Structure formats: structure tokens, C-alpha cells
């Protein structure tokens, strides 16, 4: 449960009035709640206690150093997808030996870097990648720990761009071919150590059934691999959905009592534990969104209002470069005024400054009739918010703030124009 709520007519994160952060840091600014992240980590720990379960936080969801540091301090491992993310883990004080490295196109330089740092395991996506890691490990005189990502061909019923577990996707190795591939590794790739098996069927799953179906489908293979190759872990991936529509209200116990259908860490755990426990293996779980998604809001200021023939637009100072989810995945994020309004709602589009029609954060939405100068909070912004931001239209990356009780800390300075153009050269200047 998150820690954003109105208190005395002003939206707060934990004990801090968001208006104060906007005044001090400006907008757009992402504001994270430390308490929310730590509470959810603890809930994972407790819910998965019957298993030998370990969290590998999916760094791509939010990779700010302070957030990674917070998790590293709690002994969390990390699921990474690039040499850059591995660099971030080390830089944030994380332990590379707790990192699993996924991704379909790891380069030689990335593989060498990961082997030098002694990561826990490569999660591989193709036979050619395995052969390349085998070659590099041989050259380096080491054995590379590997698992293969199996594609169980289970539809996650989520947005098509974030479905990954069907054979229409580029990810993983078809379940029909996985046993032959493991036999090939064992027979032909002497510099690899078969350490586990991995899967991940998609992101923002709001239903437990696809997780259960995929686990039921793959568990017999895992048991066989334990026998044959002595694998030590099964990573079941991430994907647990969060609350987008209803986010602010979901900060209260009552909301959860009224929404028993909503997937929770506990209900997810309860549905999978009976299937996993008999395997007697280490289970890795790779949540990204569920650990940080509802833990942040992005503050933005209303700049203008325009009433057209067909629509009313509220222009804000944040664009699709700051949060691309509505444009890319038809993502829905609640938008609330930081100073509470009473009864003056209006149907409007909330749009950004970018020169693209896709640059909206909300369309045909019943929202408070905010006026220019007012600060708004876009909810559920912690996952794939800042981490997917760009400088499109030469817009500096937003600031980030971490709230801790009634204190807050700047955890990323707003980018400057000098930083954006740093590295650009006129011909001959290099």
C-alpha cells in the first residue's frame, strides 16, 4: 500500500506536502516514497517465506542510484539487462554476485564485464548467445553460469507491447525446444555451468491465472533439469500488476477490502507457493513495477488551458519525454491536483508541450478544473516513468526526490542544457 494521501486539503507523500517539493525543486519532478518501497519489500519477504525465495529487482523499472542503494542495503539482488545497469548496481553499492543478466542481444564487451564482476547468472535467450558466452568464458579461462529463458507460450492478457511469453515474441526459447537445448549445452559447451532456468511471461498482469498456468507447464521440466544437470534455481520472472485506475484510493485499507479481485503480493504468493515448494529449489522472482510503480508520483504544473470546439485541453509542463506510458502502451495514470478541489470537475485532455499528437497524459478524462500555475500529481509513476524518459524536444530530464517520513532528499538534480549537449561536437572538434 502506498503513502500518498490528501491531508488538510493538500496531497502528501508520507509526511511531506507535495506543494513544498514543487516550490523548492520545480516541476516536472518524480517523488518516491521510501516507506512504500520498503513496505512492499517486506511484504514480498513475508509472503514468500515458505520458499527459498530471493528477489532480483528488475532494475529497468527505476534505476536511480538512491533507489538501488535502498534495495542493496536490504540484501536485494538485481535483474539487469545491460552492462550499463550492472555498472549502476556497482556504483550504488549493490552486489554483482546477486545479479542475473537477461536480454536478447548481450554484446561481447557486456559479457566480459559481467564475467569479470562474477555475476550470479546469465539468463540467455538463444543458442547463439550461449555459444558466444561459451567462447568468451573459454578465452577468459572461467566457467560462465547460465540459465535459459524458456518461453512457455502462455498469454499474459496484458498490453501487446508488454506480453513476452508467447511464441510470437522475440524472447526466450520455445518450450518444445528447451530440453534439446540443455542437452546441447551439456554436450557441446564446456565453459558453461548450467545453473538454472528462467521465464517471464509479461508485465502488468492483473490476473494470477497466467502465472499459475506457466508455472504448471514448466515445473516438470524444472524437476527434470534438477535431476539431469543439478540446477540450483528457477527464476519465475516478474510481471505482477499494480493499481493505475484507482491508485490514489488504493492507499487505504478500505480500498483493498472492497477490491478482492486486485492481485496482491500475498495472493500471488499463495497461488504459486504450492506449485513451487515441492521442487526444493531456490526460486528467484524479478519484480520491477510492483516494487516501485505505486511508490512515486510525478509533479507537473498546469501551464495553459485551451477550450476548443470539441475539447478542453490542460497543457502541462511534462511531456511524453517524461512519461511515455500513455503514448506507448495506452497507459492510464490518475492525475490529481496537489491542492484539493471540491466539485469542479471537467472533462479534458491533459497534454504536454511536445510537438506530437501522441503527447498526452490523459484523454477525455474527468479531472479537477485546474488553472494555470497549479501543481498536479501524476500517480503510479515510479515504474517505467523516469527510466524511460528522454530529452526529446531538448527537454532536460526531470528531477527526482525521495521522501523519508517528514523529510525529503533530492536524488537527482534536474538536467541542464549544458549536460544535454555535452559530447556534441562540430566536425573537426574531436
Nearest distance, CB of residue 150 and ligand LLP, angstroms = 12
Place of cell 529449489: 281
Cα 109 versus chain centre, distance:
25
355 is catalytic: yes
Distances (CA, A) of 329 to 163, 262, 333, 386: 11, 20, 11, 15
Residue 208 binds ligand LLP, judged by CB under 6 A: no
Nearest distance, CB of residue 61 and ligand LLP, angstroms = 5
Q: Which is nearer to ligand LLP, 57 or 408 (CB)?
A: 57
**Segment interacting with ligand LLP, rule: CB under 6 A, options 67-75, 219-227, 282-290, 303-311:** 282-290
Q: Which of residues 303-362 bind ligand LLP (CB under 6 A)?
A: 325, 329
Distance in angstroms between the alpha carbons of the first and the last residue of the chain: 51
Nearest distance, CB of residue 230 and ligand LLP, angstroms = 24
11/91 Cα distance (integer angstroms): 33
**Segment interacting with ligand LLP, rule: CB under 6 A, options 17-25, 114-122, 283-291, 390-398:** 283-291
Crossing angle of the two packed helices 209-229 and 178-188, in degrees rounded to 10: 30
Residue 203 binds ligand LLP, judged by CB under 6 A: yes
Q: Which of 22, 99, 102, 348 binds ligand LLP (CB under 6 A)?
A: 102
54/45 Cα distance (integer angstroms): 8
Nearest distance, CB of residue 329 and ligand LLP, angstroms = 5
| Residue 347, strand partner residues | 366
372/391 Cα distance (integer angstroms): 24
99/415 Cα distance (integer angstroms): 29
Under 8 Å between Cβ of 195 and 146: yes
Residue 384 binds ligand LLP, judged by CB under 6 A: yes
Q: Which is nearer to ligand LLP, 164 or 301 (CB)?
A: 164
**Segment interacting with ligand LLP, rule: CB under 6 A, options 197-205, 246-254, 270-278, 364-372:** 197-205
4/24 Cα distance (integer angstroms): 19
Residue 54 binds ligand LLP, judged by CB under 6 A: no
Residue 162 binds ligand LLP, judged by CB under 6 A: yes
Range list of β-strands (E), 89-162: 99-101, 121-124, 144-151
Q: Which is nearer to ligand LLP, 56 or 370 (CB)?
A: 56
Residue 2 binds ligand LLP, judged by CB under 6 A: no
Q: Which of 58, 185, 338, 379 binds ligand LLP (CB under 6 A)?
A: 58
Across 364-402, b (16+ Cβ under 10 Å) vs e yields ebebbbbeeebbbbbbbbbbbbbbbbeeeeebbbbbbbb
Q: Which is nearer to ligand LLP, 290 or 314 (CB)?
A: 290
Place of cell 548481450: 106
Nearest distance, CB of residue 125 and ligand LLP, angstroms = 9
Crossing angle of the two packed helices 65-73 and 83-91, in degrees rounded to 10: 70
**Segment interacting with ligand LLP, rule: CB under 6 A, options 39-47, 113-121, 237-245, 270-278:** 237-245
Q: Which of 286, 334, 349, 359 binds ligand LLP (CB under 6 A)?
A: 286
Residue 382 binds ligand LLP, judged by CB under 6 A: no
Q: Which is nearer to ligand LLP, 11 or 214 (CB)?
A: 214
Residue 204 binds ligand LLP, judged by CB under 6 A: yes
Q: Which is nearer to ligand LLP, 79 or 349 (CB)?
A: 79
Q: Which is nearer to ligand LLP, 12 or 289 (CB)?
A: 289
Under 8 Å between Cβ of 222 and 276: no
The pair phi, psi for residue 410, each rounded to 5°, is -70, 125
Q: Which of 239, 319, 337, 352 binds ligand LLP (CB under 6 A)?
A: 239
390/352 Cα distance (integer angstroms): 14
DSSP 232: -
- Which residues, other chains included, contact 76 with Cβ-Cβ below 8 Å and sequence gap of 6+? 41, 55, 56, 57, 98
Kindly name the residue from 62, 124, 247, 355 that is annotated as catalytic: 355
Q: Which is nearer to ligand LLP, 38 or 162 (CB)?
A: 162
Residue 92 binds ligand LLP, judged by CB under 6 A: no
Residues that bind ligand LLP (CB under 6 A): 58, 61, 79, 102, 162, 200, 203-204, 237-240, 286-290, 325, 329, 383-384
Residues identified as active-site: 355
Amino acid at each position: 500500500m502506498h503513502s500518498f494521501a490528501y491531508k488538510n486539503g493538500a496531497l502528501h507523500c508520507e509526511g511531506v506536502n507535495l506543494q513544498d517539493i514543487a516550490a523548492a525543486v520545480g516541476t516536472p519532478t518524480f517523488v518516491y516514497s521510501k516507506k512504500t518501497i520498503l513496505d512492499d519489500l517486506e511484504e514480498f519477504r513475508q509472503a514468500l517465506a515458505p520458499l527459498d525465495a530471493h528477489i532480483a529487482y528488475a532494475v529497468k523499472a527505476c534505476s536511480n542510484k538512491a533507489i538501488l542503494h535502498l534495495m542493496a542495503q536490504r540484501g536485494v539482488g538485481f535483474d539487469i539487462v545491460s552492462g550499463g545497469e550492472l555498472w549502476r548496481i556497482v556504483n550504488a553499492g549493490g552486489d554483482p554476485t546477486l545479479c542475473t543478466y537477461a536480454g536478447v542481444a548481450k554484446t561481447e564487451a557486456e559479457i566480459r564485464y559481467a564475467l569479470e564482476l562474477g555475476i550470479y547468472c546469465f539468463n540467455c535467450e538463444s543458442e547463439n548467445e550461449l555459444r558466444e558466452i561459451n567462447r568468451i568464458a573459454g578465452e577468459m579461462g572461467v566457467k560462465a553460469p547460465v540459465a535459459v529463458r524458456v518461453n512457455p507460450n502462455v498469454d499474459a492478457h496484458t498490453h501487446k507491447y508488454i506480453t513476452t511469453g508467447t511464441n510470437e515474441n522475440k524472447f526466450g526459447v520455445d518450450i518444445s525446444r528447451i530440453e534439446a537445448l540443455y542437452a546441447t549445452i551439456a554436450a557441446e559447451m564446456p565453459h558453461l555451468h548450467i545453473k538454472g532456468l528462467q521465464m517471464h511471461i509479461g508485465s502488468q498482469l492483473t490476473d494470477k491465472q497466467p502465472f499459475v498456468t506457466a508455472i504448471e507447464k514448466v515445473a516438470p521440466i524444472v524437476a527434470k533439469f534438477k535431476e539431469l544437470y543439478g540446477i540450483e534455481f528457477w527464476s519465475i520472472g516478474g510481471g505482477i500488476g499494480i493499481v493505475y485506475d484507482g491508485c490514489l484510493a488504493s492507499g487505504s485499507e478500505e480500498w483493498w477490502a472492497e477490491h478482492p479481485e486486485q492481485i496482491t503480493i500475498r495472493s500471488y504468493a499463495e497461488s504459486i507457493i504450492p506449485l513451487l515448494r515441492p521442487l526444493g529449489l531456490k526460486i528467484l522472482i524479478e519484480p520491477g513495477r510492483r516494487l516501485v510503480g505505486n511508490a512515486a508520483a510525478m509533479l507537473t504544473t498546469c501551464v495553459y488551458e485551451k477550450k476548443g470546439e470539441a475539447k478542453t485541453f490542460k497543457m502541462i509542463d511534462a511531456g511524453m519525454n517524461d512519461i511515455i506510458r500513455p503514448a506507448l502502451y495506452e497507459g492510464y495514470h490518475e492525475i490529481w491536483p496537489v491542492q484539493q478541489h471540491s466539485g469542479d470537475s471537467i472533462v479534458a485532455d491533459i497534454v504536454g508541450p511536445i510537438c506530437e499528437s501522441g503527447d498526452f497524459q490523459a484523454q477525455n478524462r474527468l479531472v479537477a478544473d485546474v488553472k494555470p500555475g497549479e501543481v498536479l500529481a501524476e500517480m503510479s509513476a515510479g515504474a517505467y516513468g523516469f527510466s524511460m524518459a528522454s530529452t526529446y524536444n531538448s527537454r532536460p530530464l526531470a528531477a527526482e526526490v525521495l521522501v523519508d517520513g517528514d523529510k525529503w532528499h533530492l536524488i537527482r538534480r534536474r538536467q541542464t542544457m549544458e549536460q544535454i549537449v555535452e559530447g556534441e561536437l562540430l566536425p573537426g572538434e574531436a
